[in-house]
Amino acid sequence: MTHDPRTETAQAQTTRARKAGFAAFVGTTIEWYDFYVYATAASLVFGTVFFPESTDRLTGIAAAFATYAVGFFARPIGGIIFGHIGDRIGRKTALVVTLTMMGAATFLVGCLPGYASIGAWAPVLLVVLRFVQGLAVGGEWGGAVLMAVEHAPADKKTFYGGFAQAGNPAGALLATGLFSLISLQGTEFMLAWGWRIPFFASALLIIVGLIVRMKVEKSPVFTESVKTVSAADQPVPILYAIRTNWASILLGICVLPVAIGGYYLVTTFATAYATDPSVGLSESVVLNALSVAAFVELVVTLGAAWLGDRFGRKRVVGIGLIGVAILAAPQFLLLSSGSIPLIFLIFILMRLAMTATYGPIATVLSQMFRPQARYTSISLAYQLSGAIFGGLSPLVSTLMFQATGSIVPVVLLLVGMCALSLVCLIAAPQYVDDAEGAVAPESMSRDGRDRS
């Protein structure tokens, strides 16, 4: 059943928005849990389990991060495939398929024999499954964001878009929290088979996610946008996106370096750096700090999104970018201080700044495009940025640290990403959907104020 937004009561619209927001949260939590389980395992055990012939620890980690990057390069392909499905058939259909794919791939990673058992086939199969993960998450994020934002009232789009964003810290908390518990059993247990437990747990989460997701209604904006257009007359989404939205797609890619790539620098790479012998932190300390930081992010994500509706989503993201740049050096330098309270504090402060860049960014990005081919456009921007900045950041940072023995190049990389994001954020267009699926620049919305 679909709804006409012109006749729907405010209470009915709020109820529908909450249901869509909750479904977006549950789905993205599971998707990001699967993604972060792989990222954490790559930092801690994959170098040993799948690349034991590496000459030293950092080379093994770099090899593991290379397979990690494969998932990011698969994400734009997933964005095109599932963007086409989402723009032509519907957001819900695409999201059910992506969730199932991700769960199956993650479970199978947990079943993989190590290099000691099947030799070179172990890393080859790992790469294949990582590619499938990338395809799935490539189609997941854009659809989950659009389901939440397009169901939301006009004055609460950033808040409800934040539900999809809250799935990121929730997934990270589940992943790092579970690995933290497993690490208490010791390194030998972790390397033997303990690392497989979080991958197996994905199967149970997928069942819950599918039950919730199947209950969500179709997007009203999608329904309105295709109501008067026959299937034969609908443009091919990828062609329409490239022809019409190419400038916004490029801006979107360059708005996201910190929200995507910076996040992995201060989590995935930071884990490898902190546990390097030159720094000497134990795995349990780092995982506990990351778990606490993820919990803090989970708590404040919707607050950051609410502030985006209240004071302007671009303004909130911009403040977050400045905060990340200021904290870049302390984030890494304090890891070698040996002070556990300071280490926990800097992880929390950095995550708060990251939340300001990430919480409202879903709505910023979704409102950069008109409804036609919006799923494809937002997915392309997000996933291409993910491939460039998310997939390569941990690998490049590891190689820079290995080559120089200094953390300074990594800090400069993060600050440069902040500068690029801020410039493109200022230039990014923002549109607002009206009741009939049409759009206008947000500065021309009914209350006459530019809320961007």
* Inside any domain, residue 450: no
User: 64-73, 168-177, 230-239: lowest mean pLDDT where?
Assistant: 230-239
CB-neighbour burial class of residue 449 (10 A; exposed 0-12, middle 13-18, buried 19+): exposed
> Is residue 435's pLDDT more than 70?
no
User: Which CATH number is 165's domain given?
Assistant: 1.20.1250.20
User: In whole angstroms, what is the distance from residue 358 CA to residue 317 CA?
Assistant: 7
In a domain, 175, yes or no: yes
| Nearest Cα residue to 129 out of 40, 199, 197 | 199
- Contact predicate 129/105, CB 8 Å: yes
Residue percentage of the chain with pLDDT more than 70: 85
157 in any annotated domain: yes
pLDDT, tens digit (0-9, with 9 covering 90-100), for 212-238: 777 766 655 555 555 555 555 567 888
Residue 192 token pair: 């033997």
Q: What is the pTM of this model?
A: 0.75
Asked if residues 76 and 110 have their Cβ atoms less than 8 Å apart, the reply is no
Return the pLDDT at 133: 85
Q: How do residues 134-157 score in pLDDT, each as one tens digit?
A: 888 888 877 888 888 877 887 888
Q: Please give the residue that has the higher pLDDT: either 164 or 64.
A: 164
Q: Please indicate, yes or no, if residue 371 is contained in any of the structural domains.
A: yes
Mind listing the pLDDT tens digit for each residue in 183-196? 888 888 888 888 89
Report the phi/psi class of residue 139: left, alpha or beta, with left for phi > 0 and alpha for psi in -120 to 50: alpha
Q: Is the model's pLDDT at 320 over the cut of 70?
A: yes
Residues 6+ apart with CB under 8 A from 286: 270, 271, 274, 275
33 CB contacts (<8 Å, ≥6 apart)? 170, 171, 172, 174, 175, 202, 205
In a domain, 227, yes or no: no
Burial class (CB in 10 A: 0-12, 13-18, 19+), 243: exposed
Please give the mean pLDDT across all residues of the chain.
81
Helices (H), 337-390: 340-358, 361-366, 374-385
Identify the H or E element spanning 17: helix 10-44
The conformation of residue 269, written as its DSSP 8-state character, comes to I
94 found inside a domain: yes
117 contacts: CB under 8 Å, gap ≥ 6: none
What tokens appear for 369 in the block? 């495009």
In a domain, 452, yes or no: no
Domain count, the chain: 1
The mean pLDDT of 120-144, rounded to a whole number, is: 84
- pLDDT greater than 60 at residue 182: yes
Inside any domain, residue 3:
no
How many other C-beta atoms can be found within 10 angstroms of the C-beta atom of residue 160?
29
Q: How many CA atoms lie within 13 A of 438 on its CB side?
A: 4
Beta-bridge mates of residue 432: 440
Query: Is the separation of the CB atoms in 364 and 424 below 8 Å?
Result: no
Which residue segment(s) compose the domain that 177 sits in?
Answer: 10-222+232-444
* CA 449 – CA 443 distance, rounded (Å): 6
Q: How confident is the model at residue 433 (pLDDT cuts 50, 70, 90)?
A: low
Query: Which residues, in sequence order, are CB contacts of 423 under 8 Å at separation 6+?
Result: 254
pLDDT band at 447 (very low <50, low <70, confident <90, very high): very low
